Structure 1
Amino acid sequence: MSWLNNFVRPKLQALVRKTEVPDNLWEKCPSCGQMIFHRELEANLRVCPHCGHHMRIGVLRRMEMLFDDGRYQRLELPRTDPDPLKFRDQKRYSDRLREAQGRTNEQDALIVAHGTMGGAQTVVAAFNFAFMAGSMGSAVGGGLIAAARLAVAQQAPLIVIPASGGARMQEGILSLMQMPRSIIAIDEVKEAGLPYIVVLTDPTTGGVSASFAMLGDIALAEPGAVIGFAGARVIEGTVREKLPEGFQRAEYLRDHGMVDIVVSRPELRQTLIRIIRLLHNPQPPAVVEPPATTAAEAFNGRSRPSNGSE
């Protein structure tokens, strides 16, 4: 009996037992509902191959897809008071920060990196939506200032990629102060004559969209990205009207002049490289040699002498 229980039965159970499949091998597209193999999805930069829906992508993966050979250097951002107001709602703000830091292995919601894109030195500041919905607090504001000053120091274009729910309300008025701070930082880049390019991703809302996100020399957006200040339901309740179809989507903003171009993620890198080459030429201007004879000299040579003789 023990032989049957210990040897035969386990063998039979192994034959009929269903093989467990890891949950993360397939991912369902939230737009068309198709199941996509995870390797195929990652190879396509998390863009659905069936309907073209752009799923959210990790901030480090985004950096790799933009820089030459996926190589870049990160800038250490200035430290700020992690909990200036000692805020607490259902849990302490400091506890929320520690949880987000442990989950993402990042200090806050902004990453600043520099490297080459198409051979041109470039500074990129990208938001990490996985860190408290990419909300903008004092650390993010300080990071944007550091990115702007790095761009000025390197005489390089600045690309900002927001993905944020807006200001971080756990920091109260200090989070709202980051809006003018970020605008001043962007002004430093523009005053230096350097290109400032914004790539609007899903979502770009709240105080982020009301400040630096809408000040780009060129504004790009990923297809289907939600871009706006207040939510659509809040707006409908305020104006008491039905909003048009596609309201606050990237394509709607492009058609109404708020976005310059909507570009798919696989084409984003090459599009940015072309824009940088058009807007920024670090080479000195060509020297124009003066003509051998100036116009004044030619005129004087043809003029009659003052005594009237030929």
Structure 2
Amino acid sequence: MKQDPFWLYFIQRLSLLSIASFTKHFLLLLLFFPERIFAKILCHARGKNRKIFPAFTQFYHDLVLNLKQWEPPGAVPEQGKGVCPMQHGSLRAPVRVFMAAVLLCLSFLAAPKAAAAQLQDVNGIMLLSFDSQQIVSIGNQTSGRCSWYALRYARTILDGKPCSGSGMWSNGAVWSAAGYYAYSGSLSGCLSRLYEELQAGRPVIVHLKNTAVSGVSKHTNRVTSYEYHLSGSGWKEVNYPHIATSSTYGHWVCVVGISPTADPENLRESDFYALDPARVSVNGTLAVTKLLDGTIWTDNSPLKVAA
């Protein structure tokens, strides 16, 4: 698989920075950048051209790096201290504690959050509430990017607007960039977590593997079974074979629904419905897919759940 160039990844990551995230990174610079080096850079640059680095440089150097009372431009420095008086100071402990507390708050503001949707009955399937046209507008996956598309569907549901996926791909889905993190466990544990997340209004991204099915004339190895196309009169059931990309990588889908008859104490994979990146749009119509028993890849990062 061809890897995106570094400069494109850098621009994508930069585009994700909110004001809170930018402020957080700026404070990190103030806290941890070697102060002596920064002071020397500022003093050297200001010494070369005072017009380029005016009073703000003196303000930053004296107040932030040295924590001394700032003197207005033109003030005469104390004898023996020169143009750059402080070369050995560092931020005092109380200020560092305060800035660390601000960073913690900004970290919560800057990270993508999971805004809960609600389960609702859509013609006999309990689905999370979302705008089907927003999902259709994202469309079906391009080759090899099922994980990225599943992540985009999930964030679209949580955010209430189509997700472009910018900054969420780097030779594979960047889960944390969208506020999703790994969950591993036994099959029963995964099914219980799936149920809990849907009840809380959050879509789950699931890793599927091939499994053999009987009673079909071709494509016996599948990752899902029936597909349902939404129409004005309800769901149209289609037995469409979805094939995993390979036995090495499997296939990623975004689980968004559950059968109304599912028993929380005896859950099966076939109780759940997903937006399958291979086919969420069929001629402009939303399609959801019923999972097939025996396909959740419990040995290989089975679930990605929202923070």
Q: TM-score w.r.t. structure 1 length?
A: 0.20
Q: TM-score w.r.t. structure 2 length?
A: 0.20
Quick check: which one's helix share is greater?
Answer: 1
Quick check: which one's strand share is greater?
Answer: 2
